[in-house]
Amino acid sequence: MPPAQPGTVSAADAAPHGGAVASPGRPGGSKERTVQLEVLRYNPDTDTEASFQRYAVVCPEEGVVLDALNEVKASVDPTLNYRWSCHMAVCGSCGMMINGEPKLACHAFLRDYAGVIRVEPLAHFPIERDLVTAPDDFMEKLKRVKPYLIPKESKPIDAGEYKQTPAQLMKFRQYSMCINCMLCYAACPEYGLTPRFIGPAALTLAHRYNQDSRDGGRKQRQEVAATHEGVWECTFVGACSEVCPAHVDPASALQQMKIASSVDWIVEHLIPGGNGS
């Protein structure tokens, strides 16, 4: 990777900077504009610190930040590293900080940004290389909350499916929309300050299965969720819900889990014969 340069690296055929130019070749005569990016770069083989590098590329006005990064990689600097896959806010791969806000690069529209767009790797995660972060900690925590159905009672396949009413489905449906993009972790100051915190997405998925009428695994998940590194580390900043691109509400899930855990404690300690389950 070349060292970070103070100047702007542009595509050779870039249009005049700052202006919008008509693109007659595009359907509907859509316009293009020069996008200036300030990208945080880090090479683990040569760098001890990350530093910003500027690029200028021409992109369609209706494009997204991911398009601009792809244009940089295709026409200016092939050494730039970042993750992406679906380009439609489904896979959750292209999470990064865009002007300080955790966003999916494929869901950050260029029309919403004026001036230089600052692009950094997701906050609170170690930088693997350039905009690629190491998700190891999140993956480990995800496993710990057992985010899968643990049936109340197992039955042979011949006995048929586990049935569920629409109302039972709605109880957890929004929480099943999580795409594991980790934007909520980048927004959560508690996770940044206290990395042992299990964090919003993993706990929300625990809540999703706890709420499932077919599931009987809550007691196992509580061993991780109802602890000081679990829901009780959450101070209800609420940033996780504000940045979620899938409209999941982790803040709501965690507060509900706190209330349920408190009820468990009351049943276990204050009610004779209570077992807290």
Which residue, 58 or 251, is less far from other proteins as judged by CB? 251
134 binds other proteins (CB under 8 A): yes
> Could you give the 3-state DSSP secondary structure of residue 35?
strand
Instruction: Provide, rounded to whole angstroms, the least separation between the CB of residue 133 and other proteins.
Output: 8
* Residue tagged 């999580």 (tokens): 178
| Closest to 53 (Cα-Cα) out of 18, 14, 8 | 8
> Which member of 20, 21, 86, 259 binds other proteins (CB under 8 A)?
259
> Could you give the 3-state DSSP secondary structure of residue 195?
coil
Give the Å distances, CA to CA, from 144 to 13, 17, 183, 205, 215: 51, 50, 20, 11, 17
DSSP 152: S
Which residue, 127 or 145, is less far from other proteins as judged by CB? 127
107 binds other proteins (CB under 8 A): no
Residue 116's Cβ-side half-sphere holds a number of Cα atoms within 13 Å equal to 12
Which residue, 225 or 239, is less far from other proteins as judged by CB? 239
Stretch that binds other proteins, among 72-80, 141-149, 212-220, 251-259 (CB under 8 A): 251-259
Cα–Cα–Cα angle for 59, 62, 66, rounded to 5 degrees: 60
Stretch that binds other proteins, among 18-26, 28-36, 58-66, 236-244 (CB under 8 A): 236-244
Q: Is the dihedral of CA 112, 115, 120, 124 positive or negative?
A: negative
50 binds other proteins (CB under 8 A): yes
251 binds other proteins (CB under 8 A): yes
Q: CB neighbours of 114 closer than 8 A, spacing ≥ 6?
A: none
Cα–Cα–Cα angle for 76, 68, 95, rounded to 5 degrees: 120
> Which member of 33, 103, 124, 208 binds other proteins (CB under 8 A)?
124
> Which member of 189, 223, 266, 268 binds other proteins (CB under 8 A)?
189
Instruction: Provide, rounded to whole angstroms, the least separation between the CB of residue 194 and other proteins.
Output: 9
Which residue, 76 or 231, is less far from other proteins as judged by CB? 231
Alpha-carbon Rg of the chain, whole angstroms?
23
> Which member of 127, 201, 205, 225 binds other proteins (CB under 8 A)?
127
18 binds other proteins (CB under 8 A): no
Binding stretches for other proteins (CB under 8 A): 42, 44-45, 47, 49-50, 100-101, 123-124, 126-128, 134, 166-167, 170-171, 189, 192-193, 236-239, 241-242, 249, 251-252, 255-256, 258-259
